[in-house]
Amino acid sequence: MCAAAALALALAGCGTRAPGRGGPPPIVPRRGPLAIDVVYPRDSALVSAPDSNFIFGSVGNGRARLTIDGHPVDVEPNGAFLAWLPVPGSAVDTVAEYRLVASLDGEEARAVRTIRRPGGGPALSDSATIVETSVAPRGAWWVRSGEALEVTAGATPGARVWLRMPNGDSIPLDATDGAGPADPNWIFGTVPRDRAGEPRAGSGVYRGVLHADEPLGRGRLVPSLSPVAVDFSGVPPACAPPPQPIPEDTLLAAVAGNDAPRDVPPVSPGCAILEVAFEGDTARTPLPLDLWIMSERGRGPVVELREEPSAVGRDGFVVGRAEPGATTLWMWNDGVQARVSGRRNGSVRLSLDALTEAWVALDELAPRPNPARVALAEVGTVRLEAAADRIRVNLAVSEPVPYHVQVDGRRLALILYGAYSNTDWLRYGPADRFLRGARWEQPTDDRYVLHLELAGRPWGYRARYHDGGLVLEVRKPPAIDPDRPLAGLRIAVDPGHPPGGATGPTRLYEADANLAVAFRLKRLLEAEGARVVLTRADREAVRLYDRTRLAELLDAHLLVSIHNNALPDGVNPFENHGTSVYYFHPQARDLARALQRGLLESLGLGDLGIGRASLALARPTWIPAALTEGAFMMIPAQEAALREPSYQEAYARGVLSGLREFALGRIE
């Protein structure tokens, strides 16, 4: 009997067929009773795909036949099925049904799977209609005078659409194709059919540009006090309440009462009105925007970023983004200060310097106790100290301004926003072969940059404010033995999930498959002389940032997170599948490439390539970290393979190969 490498569940077995470049081993047949089990979509799930989508599950027996909505569907030897079919119902339906019929030796089983659709979209109509929930911008916004705002709305296709301003002016909204190049599903390679090619006529999506000015705004924000004070003189009535009241304990406490929901007339005279005209019919709705104009050239109060390093479920960093909801660009520790320049509901815009702005979450800000602040922070003496495993850089900075670290090969740049140089002393400690030199520059009046020239590529870095200054630590590469490149390295192995995770057609849970691979990888790494820690060793849920915090507390040299993939609605799994690896920081890009090569060789699946992605397990700056997506849980052959000990071992050996290759490549 085989020894199970993971939990006593469906992963254990006696499969002996080794996978190769040909892909997963053959599926083990199943001859169970006929029973339809739809795994996805879940009952009453919201399916966002506009026309076609996947549905998968099992029928209990590989000899059964299956149709879904009259379409024949292949059944795998173990009874699993995966189909790509038209979404039932029409674009305006909010509820629809898949109808499944399975048969075996004269026996028949039927099932209905109910789904929800976004519905409510603009449809061909004889009257003017507006999709109220599609109108944007909405809620509480702070902007500069004259700032451009994109206005969007869903309405009857083929209509004429305007935004009528309180002063009588009109802004036209033009029809668009309703899709854009930023569709996140494009990362999977094949553009969904309904989003490719020429713009779709009659999509019913309209866009225009509004330039904010005083008559439209509810008032002026005055930054002379913190929390923000508001001048209410001449304030027109609100056009609509924001989505929710503002918490009393934020920097906005002074205006919280005015942001609370209140009764609003259908069309208030001080509001901008969205108007749709179609074949003699007209529909109107107010622009649901509570707009405030920033005074003093858009300069708001100075605020402090708040993120407790030990907070449950948090990573100790405030994330800065180029736009609300966009990817991570900056990571700042608790206490960094910056000036507010705008707001969109739960996101606040910060002015870092004259050329750079960032968006952060409203609940990660607090008013600065002393609102007065000099225009720029002063950067004084810079001291560099070498230790056995790192270079430590101490900068005297008068204010905790935002910073950013950029790594380019053997060069590292530390950027301080809103700062000027008074660095008369740049002092080196005892000579260190890893540090070749340092210099500073002032590329603009309010940006300071410290450059480090290194003898090799940095292994990692971290920066934080401490004892009245900024401390930057640059991690040196560890000593690597060419004959045993992983010996002595501390490696954190993360079996991805729970919480969350995908489920396959026969209900293999991704977290269990990941753990089975991780156990095998741990054994292989320890045989190579590595010191290994698992971020979890059972089925208990572990929070994301508890995993990265554990790796950093152990001062791990490498972090690899084991996963298996899934697809979002609307992406065809028959065209988009394979192996991929994700990283975030430049120093981990070569790690991702090496892991991808190892996994492609061992698993024999398609090559989806590597990608940069803002994933929690890939974001640590001190440790080269990557997240692997070996196979797809939803594809029957790949789910079945992940039940096989031989394929779990192949996955683990692919990761081992990649880690070896990366370590060897870092010998300078």
pLDDT on residue 369: 67
Lowest mean pLDDT among 85-94, 232-241, 358-367, 412-421: 232-241
C-beta of residue 504 within 8 angstroms of C-beta of residue 27: no
Task: Output the CA–CA distances (angstroms, integers) from residue 180 to 79, 200, 268, 439, in the order listed.
Answer: 39, 11, 33, 43
- Positive or negative: CA dihedral 646, 652, 657, 660: negative
Spatial distance between the Cα atoms of 178 and 200, rounded to a whole number of angstroms: 8
The β-bridge partners of 161 are 173, 276
State the residue for tokens 């519905």: 119
C-beta of residue 486 within 8 angstroms of C-beta of residue 457: no
Half-sphere exposure of 138 (CA within 13 A, CB side): 17
CA angle 100, 102, 107 (to 5 degrees): 140
Q: Which amino acid is at 446?
A: D
Half-sphere exposure of 325 (CA within 13 A, CB side): 5
C-beta of residue 378 within 8 angstroms of C-beta of residue 339: no
Question: pLDDT digit string (tens) for 33-73?
Answer: 999 999 999 999 999 898 999 999 999 999 999 999 999 99
Spatial distance between the Cα atoms of 523 and 84, rounded to a whole number of angstroms: 39
How confident is residue 512, by pLDDT bands cut at 50, 70 and 90?
Answer: very high
How confident is residue 516, by pLDDT bands cut at 50, 70 and 90?
Answer: very high
pLDDT on residue 289: 83
Three-state secondary structure along 424-436? CCEEECCCCCCEE
3-state secondary structure of 663: helix
Strand 281-286's sheet: what is its strand order?
130-136, 148-155, 205-211, 170-176, 160-164, 273-278, 281-286
DSSP string, 619-645: --SSS-EEEEEEEETTSHHHHHHHHSH
Question: pLDDT digit string (tens) for 161-187?
Answer: 999 887 788 899 999 875 544 455 556
DSSP conformational letter for 382: E
Mean pLDDT for 103-129 is 85
Strands 170-176, 328-333: parallel, antiparallel or unpaired by DSSP?
Answer: unpaired
Query: Residues 584, 589, 594, 597: what is their CA dihedral angle, to the nearest 10 degrees?
Result: 80
Strands 490-495, 558-565: parallel, antiparallel or unpaired by DSSP?
Answer: parallel
Question: Is the bond preceding 86 in cis, omega lying within 30 degrees of 0?
Answer: no
User: Which domains can be identified in the chain, with CATH numbers?
Assistant: 37-116 (2.60.40.10), 146-179+201-294 (no CATH), 298-388+390-477 (2.60.40.3500), 490-665 (3.40.630.40)
Q: For residue 45, what are the contacts with CB-CB under 8 A and spacing of at least 6?
A: 115, 116
Q: For residue 85, what are the contacts with CB-CB under 8 A and spacing of at least 6?
A: 52, 53, 54, 55, 68, 69, 71, 73, 98
Q: E strands along 445-557, which residues?
A: 447-454, 460-466, 469-475, 490-495, 531-534
DSSP conformational letter for 586: G
pLDDT at 336 over 90: yes
pLDDT at 530 over 50: yes
The crossing angle, in degrees rounded to 10, of helices 636-643 and 645-665 is: 90
Long-range CB pairs of 481-487 (<8 Å, 24+ gap) are 482/664, 482/667, 484/528, 484/529, 485/660, 485/663, 485/664, 485/667, 486/525, 486/528, 486/529, 486/530, 486/659, 486/660, 486/663, 487/528, 487/529, 487/530
pLDDT on residue 297: 61
Instruction: Using alpha carbons, select from 208, 207, 217, 134 the residue that is nearest to residue 171.
Output: 208
Spatial distance between the Cα atoms of 651 and 601, rounded to a whole number of angstroms: 10
Question: pLDDT digit string (tens) for 444-478?
Answer: 999 999 999 999 999 999 999 998 899 999 999 99
Instruction: Using alpha carbons, select from 539, 652, 535 the residue that is nearest to residue 9.
Output: 539
Task: Output the CA–CA distances (angstroms, integers) from residue 510 to 187, 506, 638, in the order listed.
Answer: 21, 12, 12
Region for 657 from its dihedrals, namely left if φ exceeds 0, alpha if ψ lies in -120 to 50, beta otherwise: alpha
> Among residues of the chain, what percentage have pLDDT more than 90?
67
Does residue 596 or residue 238 have the better pLDDT? 596
> Among residues of the chain, what percentage have pLDDT more than 70?
80
Which element (helix H / strand E) includes 174? strand 170-176
Instruction: Using alpha carbons, select from 224, 327, 582 the residue that is nearest to residue 319.
Output: 327
Spatial distance between the Cα atoms of 618 and 612, rounded to a whole number of angstroms: 9
Q: Which amino acid is at 127?
A: S
How confident is residue 269, by pLDDT bands cut at 50, 70 and 90?
Answer: low
C-beta of residue 393 within 8 angstroms of C-beta of residue 414: yes
pLDDT on residue 314: 63
C-beta of residue 284 within 8 angstroms of C-beta of residue 268: no
Lowest mean pLDDT among 74-83, 256-265, 586-595: 256-265
State the residue for tokens 């700056």: 621
pLDDT at 228 over 60: no
Spatial distance between the Cα atoms of 239 and 138, rounded to a whole number of angstroms: 10
Which element (helix H / strand E) includes 514? helix 510-527
C-beta of residue 307 within 8 angstroms of C-beta of residue 333: yes
Does residue 314 or residue 664 have the better pLDDT? 664
pLDDT at 310 over 60: no
The β-bridge partners of 46 are 116
Indicate the pTM of the whole model: 0.85
3-state secondary structure of 504: coil
Instruction: Using alpha carbons, select from 541, 526, 532 the residue that is nearest to residue 496.
Output: 541
How confident is residue 204, by pLDDT bands cut at 50, 70 and 90?
Answer: confident
Spatial distance between the Cα atoms of 60 and 33, rounded to a whole number of angstroms: 6
Task: Output the CA–CA distances (angstroms, integers) from residue 364 to 104, 214, 442, in the order listed.
Answer: 58, 29, 30
Task: Kindly give the residue spans of alpha helices, DSSP state H, lying in 211-251.
Answer: none
Question: Is the bond preceding 137 in cis, omega lying within 30 degrees of 0?
Answer: yes
